Structure 1
């Protein structure tokens, strides 16, 4: 009897353990592949991560990350890896106007796209003239956008009768936080997508999903445990020096930072856009003309301010503060059940102890260009002064501990025409794929975009193995009226340029049926 030699399973190496790399890995498990995930840092999660307070030992998020119900692929990913129960949905968004008047954005009785009309008309931080202007602008944006090439969204707003007041209190309040860019530097198409897909298309798309645990647990330890349990080799503190290829550009694998080669049949490069060219040899770069635009991408900063008070200051679970330095405030004492730490340090803290009445707030300032020249103490003091104007008790409260964290490269900047610079996930190099929110996903720089990119890269690999599988989940279904007025949702981009079959690498049948994507209603480093 002759023995039949069974070829080893195709080897997929994923470089980068942010959400894009994690999504790619999750989409490939259970399909008869050998998967290796390389991450240079000692933890997974990329920009959606935490650091350990050196004194208290607790995890502190770099910055608050929020999902929305319209982020169907992020929802699918969280369900796939078993962390979907670690979010709470907010049915309403709380706004606190400059005069201290509270408004809540929630769905009313009407169908989309008019389900938020009642909340909008009752917004107490806008007068009736403001509401008429904004209503006109929203109608133009949704139904006849008349975009001009290269026009910033601020210019579009001014061309459509928006005043400085409506731009400051309404448009900036929503879009700067959503896209991490100032309106005068913002691409029109991405701004329109936020309103159409997030607020107008469905009755629930605008609802926030807040993590109940620190990001370091959510996308770090729990994801690592899940991946290992599903056969993925996770190698932390393992940097990559270069993508390994022959002189003719044929992919061989990667070269680790130690100089050791790691052979692979497929490589998914899931790192931040500013690191891509440094990992590619000239023979590879010249074969991927789409990468020329990546060098022109720019980044936008986000600043997160963590404040532990000896008493309650903010009476809300979360609140948006239009027209202020402080943009969003999240009450982590309520959301995550976290109070002030029991011990304090000489750096970033003042003497004090925890009590059941203490409060931990996280303040978010997006597109924080104006803060880049300030030191952390000046930023802290400016935020405290702003909070004291909102709630005088903040001036009386004692600050037990604080952190200021600015991520200079938090997202790619959504400048006008930016989508022309974003490459697809598939490259002309056989077996080499890109992933990251900066690739062509049809979405801005979001966790949803990162997950979509990872899914698209995984789809490309499976197609090359003659096992085509659709991982990308559709957008939330639009009602009849929304479809008639807004049209159908845009189709997700597919990574399939001319198909490059790799039949000699066809994966063996997995021991169990492939995982089926669940139906459901920032970034990377290596």
Structure 2
């Protein structure tokens, strides 16, 4: 390591730290980025599966049309073309009772916006066409969505979305087949642990506020290429210093001012400004045992985490040509057809990734003795019931990966635990989706935190600049109907 002094040291090469680094470097601020892993990207990274010789993403990451800061960040980096915007989703659920197609119990519901109807009515026909809800349940669902949009949430004393739905008279079938399907996928938590305010944000910002917000953007290349290689190149072009496999042991503070960064290898980097952009579980261990403002940061120890499990499957033939699917009444929640999405040659096998969010019951003692092989068998059995072609296909390779601390849990009261990106210590800033961003644990939240940390830092350097986009415009009809 040649750097013994830096204007700004950023600790952590996840999306939050990378956003902050790129933003500052683009403005001519000398930075040094330290990442303990051998690659950039944090949770949005990849590793090689030696048997399949594929790069496997640590966890499937997708964006949405409403993730404006993240999408702008990708445009800034020149990687926006590496995302495919899905203008149609595929919800796989049971057919209506009494259907003539008894031998095909599952129906693929194509979910898309109506071209003639304005927001928020643009998705009304799509909701109305769901095969697994009765007309009475669909009417009840419409009333529930309207009431959710009109609800003013007191974040100091709010219920879980599960309690709120029960109070609104939503049927258990509607809760299981609609609310649970959407919210668990979006927030990676169970309904009895999701706050009303975060559930409301998903539906208001994702479905009701603007026409294209609901659309899903899926990466078409491994995350390693998307973030690691592209962002590293961008930072190097801006003369930023990036060290991989370089862990930090302590941020030293004297007289309420950052003074230097102590590395695990015993070396030091003198600096007066540092951005800690690591998972919330690691923040306090990087700081001295006492300093002004430490007590205010201890609330992050109360943040809880939720796991996400991915099951990776390789077959000798194609079991479906759908690029993705959302499952109802299954352990599996999302299917991503990686072979088609990434346009990989069929000679390497047909690769499907199954995502199970809030997979509490698949980890630790909650597994109740189920092995990874048992869970993979359950997933493949579900695929066989949906696509019978799976029974004739040979499973050539499989792998299950669980990110145990994938997201922070959006429980009631969580907003009171999330700190600002600016601390009480001069020159010390925080970045991470767990900081106060107004968003749940998403790539959008991570990018926003990096921008907010950079904004505070630039202000302290005497270069104030507003970095966040102005609030999104709400459709006129949504303003009228929901007072948004």
Common fold by TM > 0.5:
yes
- Cα deviation for residue 30 of structure 1 reads 3.0
Q: What are the equivalent positions in structure 2 for 1:321-470 lying under 5 Å apart?
A: 321-339=327-345, 354=347, 358-372=349-363, 373=367, 374-470=370-466
1:43 maps to 39
* SS of residue in 1 equivalent to 2:343: coil
Provide the residue aligned with 2:168 in structure 1. 160
Contact 2:6 2:269 in 1 (8 A): no
Specify the alignment match of 1:492 in structure 2.
Answer: none
Instruction: Report the Cα distance in structure 1 between the residues aligned to 2:279 and 2:470, rounded to whole angstroms.
Output: 26
Aligned to 2:321: 315
Q: How far apart are the structure 2 equivalents of 1:9 and 1:118?
A: 60
Distance (Å, rounded) in 1 between the aligned partners of 2:390 and 2:345: 16
Using the alignment, how far apart are the partners of 2:177 and 2:164 within structure 1?
17
Structure with greater contact order relative to length (CA < 8 Å, sep ≥ 6): 1
Q: TM-score when scaled to structure 2?
A: 0.93
Contact 2:56-2:222 at 8 Å conserved across structures: yes
Indicate the larger mover: 271-280 or 257-266: 257-266
Take 1:36 and 1:329, find their aligned partners in 2: how far apart are those partners?
A: 39
In the alignment, the residues of structure 2 paired with residue 391 and residue 371 of structure 1 have an alpha-carbon distance, to the nearest angstrom, of 24
Counterpart for residue 267 of structure 2 = 260
Partner of 1:273: 280
| Worse-superposed segment, 235-244 or 368-377 | 368-377
Alignment of 1:218 onto 2:226: yes
User: How big is the shift at 1:98?
Assistant: 2.5
Tell me how many residue pairs correspond in the alignment.
464
Q: What residue number does 2:302 align with?
A: 296
Instruction: Give unmatched runs, 5+ long, in structure 2.
Output: 96-105
Equivalent residues of 2:153, 2:197 under 8 A apart: no
**Contact persistence 1:297–1:413 (CA under 8 A):** yes
Q: Report what 1:511 is aligned to.
A: none
**Residues 361-389 of structure 1: per-residue CA shift (max 9 Å, x gap):** 11000000111134321221111111111
Residue of structure 1 aligned with 2:111, choices 105, 111, 129: 105
Aligned residue for 2:298, secondary structure, equals helix
Give distance in 1, aligned partners of 2:28 and 2:158: 46
Q: How far is 1:145 from its partner?
A: 5.0
Q: CA deviation at 1:56?
A: 4.3
Task: Indicate yes or no: 2:224 matched with 1:228.
Answer: no
| Structure 1 residue runs without a partner (length 5+) | 1-7, 341-353, 489-526
Tell me what 1:119 maps to: 126
